Amino acid sequence: MKRNFPIMNKRHFLKSTLLGLGAFPLLSFGEHSEDSPKLLLPKPLQKGDTVGLISPSAATSERIQFDFAKEALEALGFQVKLGENLKNRRGHLAGSDAERAEDLNTMFADPDVKAVICIRGGSGAARILPLIDYETIKKNPKPILGYSDITALHCAIHSQTGLVTFHGPNGSGSWNNFNVSQFQKMFFDQSLVTFVNEQVKGDDLVVKQNRTQTLGPGTAQGKILGGNLTVLVSLSGTPYFPDFKDAILFIEDIGEDPYKIDRMMSTLALNGTLSKIKGFIFGQCSDCNPGGGYGSLTLDDILDDYILPLGIPAYKGAMIGHVAKQFIVPVGAKVEMDATQGTFRMLEPVFPK
C-alpha cells in the first residue's frame, strides 16, 4: 500500500524527536548487562573437517541449491554432513520448528561436526529460538555461518551463550573469489581481519561501486553486534535481543521501503539501543528505494535523523548484506571502526590459541 508523507523540516523533526524521547524514560527491553555470558570462542577449523549443513529458516525451492551448497563447501576443503531434515518442507519453512531446531542441536552435539553452515535465510529462524539447546552449544562451541534471517540465531546464540558467531555467506549463496578469500582469512588463517570495501573504478572517472560515506567521523572500539535490521528489531523485548552497551552496531536489509526502515530505527531509538552504542555501521540496503508519494524520506534522511544526534563514529556502505561480495563479520568480537576511512578491523583473535 502506498503512503504519502507530510513534509517536515529536519531541524524541527530532530528537536521534536529528541524532546519526545526525553519526556519518557527509555525502556531497555531485553537488557542483559549483569547476566551477559562471558565471551566464548569457537574451536578453529581446518581443511578436511566435517561441517554440518542445515536449514533453520525457509525451505529451499530448487533441489539444485542443495548441490550448490554441498559442492561449494567441499571445494573449500570440507566433508559435508547434511541435516536429517535439511530438505523437509512445511509451508514456506524447511520443516516443522521441532525438526529445524533438532538439526541445529544435533550438529552442535555431534563431536565430528566442526562447524554449522546455514544453507539459506528467508524467515522462520526466530520460531526455533526457544527450542535451541544453549547448554549443548556452550559445551561444544563451534562456528556457525549465515546471514539475513540467520540474524535471529546470531543474536540468540550470542546473547545466551557468549559464543562468537559469523555473519556471512549462506551455503547456497555466492562463493566468489572475494568471499572465498574472506573465508580463508577468517577460518583457516585465523587472521585479525581488516574489513575494507573492494572498490572497482572500471572505466568511470571516479569510484562509484562499494563507496562508503561517513555519517560521523572518528574511531570507536567495541563488541560488534547486529545483522539484518528487520530480524533484529523483531527480537526487541525478548531474551534473545543482544545487550548493545558500548557495542558497535551493524545493520543491513533488503527490499524495505524507507518508511519501514524509519519505523525500525525508531524502535531501536525508543528501546534504548541507539543510546547505548559507541559506533554504527550501515551495510547495504538492497532495493530500499523511496516509494511513490510526495515527501518520502530517503535513507540518507533517516540515518541523519537517528544517527547524527548521537555524535558517534558512523558510516554507511560497508560490504555487508544481500550482495554477492560480503564480509564475514565475527559477531560478538571486539573491533575498532574508523568511520572517516569507512573500515573496521578485528582487535582480538576469535579462536583460542
The model's pTM: 0.90
Instruction: Based on the fold, state whether residues 71 and 159 are members of the same structural domain.
Output: yes
**Whole-number pLDDT of residue 28:** 40
- Which of 188, 209, 230 marks a domain boundary? 188
Q: Is residue 44 part of a domain?
A: no
Instruction: Based on the fold, state whether residues 199 and 342 are members of the same structural domain.
Output: yes
Instruction: Based on the fold, state whether residues 249 and 284 are members of the same structural domain.
Output: yes
Instruction: Based on the fold, state whether residues 18 and 64 are members of the same structural domain.
Output: no
Instruction: Based on the fold, state whether residues 180 and 199 are members of the same structural domain.
Output: no
Give dist(CA 233, CA 19) in Å, integer: 23
- Which of 188, 214, 235 marks a domain boundary? 188
Q: Judge whether 134 and 102 are in contact, CB under 8 Å.
A: no
Instruction: Based on the fold, state whether residues 173 and 230 are members of the same structural domain.
Output: no
Q: 91: phi > 0 → left, psi -120 to 50 → alpha, else beta; which?
A: left
List C-alpha distances in Å: 163 to 43, 57, 114, 215, 290: 10, 20, 14, 30, 37
Instruction: Based on the fold, state whether residues 199 and 335 are members of the same structural domain.
Output: yes
Summary mean pLDDT of the chain: 91
Q: Is residue 130 part of a domain?
A: yes
**Whole-number pLDDT of residue 4:** 39
Instruction: Based on the fold, state whether residues 199 and 331 are members of the same structural domain.
Output: yes
Number of domain units in the chain:
2
Catalytic, out of 252, 256, 296, 336: 252
**Whole-number pLDDT of residue 24:** 34
Q: Is residue 5 part of a domain?
A: no
Look up the CATH number of the domain holding residue 262.
3.50.30.60
Q: Is residue 351 part of a domain?
A: no
Catalytic, out of 55, 99, 102, 148: 148
Digit-coded pLDDT (tens) for 89-141: 999 999 999 999 999 999 999 999 999 999 999 999 999 999 999 999 999 99
Instruction: Based on the fold, state whether residues 127 and 235 are members of the same structural domain.
Output: no
Q: Going edge to edge, which strands form the sheet with 329-331?
A: 79-82, 50-54, 113-118, 144-146, 165-167, 329-331
Domain of 134? 50-188
- Which of 188, 206, 229 marks a domain boundary? 188
Q: Smallest Cα–Cα separation from 326: which of 280, 281, 272, 275?
A: 281
Q: Is 172 one of the catalytic residues? A: no
Is the CA virtual torsion 318, 321, 326, 327 positive or negative? positive
Phi, then psi, of 163 in degrees rounded to 5 = -70, 135
Is the CA virtual torsion 34, 36, 37, 38 positive or negative? negative
Regions in the chain scoring below 70 on pLDDT: 1-35, 291-294
**Whole-number pLDDT of residue 208:** 86
**Whole-number pLDDT of residue 293:** 62
Catalytic, out of 154, 158, 167, 322: 322
Is the CA virtual torsion 137, 56, 317, 173 positive or negative? positive
Q: Is 99 one of the catalytic residues? A: no
Instruction: Based on the fold, state whether residues 183 and 200 are members of the same structural domain.
Output: no
Phi, then psi, of 201 in degrees rounded to 5 = -75, -35
Digit-coded pLDDT (tens) for 166-199: 999 999 999 999 999 999 999 999 999 999 999 8
Q: Is residue 165 part of a domain?
A: yes
Q: Is 252 one of the catalytic residues? A: yes
Instruction: Based on the fold, state whether residues 178 and 212 are members of the same structural domain.
Output: no
Instruction: Based on the fold, state whether residues 26 and 65 are members of the same structural domain.
Output: no
Between the CA atoms of 140, 146, 150 and 156, what dihedral angle is there, to the nearest 10 degrees?
Answer: 30
